[in-house]
Amino acid sequence: MDKLNNEKINFQPSPEMFQPVNKDNLDAEKIRRPTINYWEDVWRRLKANKLAMSGLVIIIIMVIFAIVGPMIRPYKYYQMDMINTNISPNSQFWFGTDSLGRDLFTRVTYGARYSLLIGFLAAFINITIGVLYGGIAGMNHGKVDTIMMRIAEIIYAIPYLLMVILLSVVFSESGSGTSLGVIILALTISGWIPTAILVRGQVLSLKESEYVMAAKSMGAKGKWILFKHILPNTLGPILVNLTLIIPRAIFSEATLSFVSLGLQDPLPSLGNLANSGIEVLAIGLGYQVLMPAIMISLIMFGFNVLGDGLRDALDPRLRK
């Protein structure tokens, strides 16, 4: 102890310990990285994900193909040519023709157009209803929440295929048949419920946050808090859910059309085109099922990998 005290007493500061800080050391404290907001950082991380960007490129190409494709061919999707039936792909008929002589390229592009339209519309309706329903249920936790979620569970418990069959039968009896509106209605009757459950859970966790309590203390009403503070903070999970709903709706429509419960011929969809191709597969006309199958696979792949990449980009725990 005495030795330690002697060392403290005998300590003599040297001039080298008090050198002035030069300009280079001051520059080292500067912030070199530019300031970016949350969504700019999400886009930066999404661009770094090559697989997700490849999915985005595929989706853009598929949309352009569905919009522009019918314009570059002189044939209509319903135009029949009994002389040129079941012709393999060539320079005149790029994807070949079917058993009625219709140009498969035109029919596949129209099928992709209808499938994407159904997917986007069904997803938009499901997201809109699910967000509003789940947000209201989460903000009114108690009897209102219990009643709303029990109603949703009852609707969700009804078999999906049964509802589609009933709708098809009802509209067939009325003479209108299975139209585009009927398919979208079938996909949205219970399709909004998973989104409502997701949003409700997010609202229940966020409504106890400090900024929500601060807004309440300043006299903000529940509606203002929901749309101004809570829902914007659930946008990340909603966007990820959206990228999953769209391919699910497209695949559901293709499945319904494949079993003759969706769009009816001559109106093309990727599902009924694949169904028609299956019927002639045994006689060596595999190209008729190959083309719509490739389109469905590319669309599903693009949305799925984009959804995975978007989920990783929106996760704040992965932020660097």
The model's pLDDT over 7-33, given as tens digits with 9 standing for 90+, comes to 555 666 677 667 665 655 555 555 556
Residue 7 lies in a domain: no
**Of all residues in the chain, what percent carry a pLDDT higher than 90?**
4
**What six digits make up the tokens of 271?**
């599902």
Residue 102 lies in a domain: yes
Residue 261 lies in a domain: yes
Domain count, the chain: 1
Instruction: Tell me the one-letter amino acid at 287.
Output: Y
Partners of 103 in beta bridges? 97
Query: Do 309 and 58 meet the contact criterion of CB atoms below 8 Å apart?
Result: no
pTM: 0.77
Query: Do 172 and 178 meet the contact criterion of CB atoms below 8 Å apart?
Result: yes
The model's pLDDT over 257-293, given as tens digits with 9 standing for 90+, comes to 777 777 777 778 888 888 888 877 777 788 888 888 8
Residue 11 lies in a domain: no
pLDDT of 176 reads 53
Which domain does 224 fall in, by range?
A: 37-73+96-318
Residue 19 lies in a domain: no
User: Which segments of the chain have a pLDDT < 50?
Assistant: 4
Give the chain's largest Cα–Cα span: 113
